[in-house]
Amino acid sequence: MIAQILIADDNPDITGLLNDYLSSKGHRIVVVNDGFQLAQKAGEYIPHLIITDIQMPGAYGNSAYAVLQKDEKTKGIPVIFMSAHHREKLAKLLPNDPKTRFVQKPVNLESLEAVIKELLPLGGYCP
């Protein structure tokens, strides 16, 4: 099967764009709008990958990531963090973990696809 990807962002234009693009590549998509939903749905769906904004209402993406790291079912899920802010400004918020990446907004879809293929086994195909 193609990967199940959880997208978390409070901007419906971004979630719509990512949903449409990744769905067109055959991935199954779950969309949430804040960090609380991110932690809840990740535990429920156990996605192959999470793409999350850092600054969202309710709980930041990095706070939800910290919650996921405490759960055996979700701690191994790769995460792509997104933000309009530069990586240097967010350095204290981003985890130093080999299974995480950072993507600058506005998101370049081809670059995002390359990062997804890097993080997911077999280039996005999940047996």
Q: What's the pLDDT tens digit per position in 50-96?
A: 999 998 887 778 888 999 999 999 999 999 999 988 877 777 778 88
Q: What is the Cβ-side half-sphere exposure of residue 7, based on CA atoms within 13 angstroms?
A: 23
Domains of the chain: 4-124 (3.40.50.2300)
Task: Say if CB 14 and CB 43 are below 8 A apart.
Answer: no
Q: pLDDT (tens digit, 9 = 90+) per residue, 106-119?
A: 999 999 999 998 99
Judge contact between 53 and 83, C-beta under 8 A.
yes
Predicted TM-score (pTM) of the model is 0.92
Q: What is the pLDDT of residues 10-49, one digit of tens each?
A: 999 999 999 999 999 999 999 999 989 999 999 999 999 9
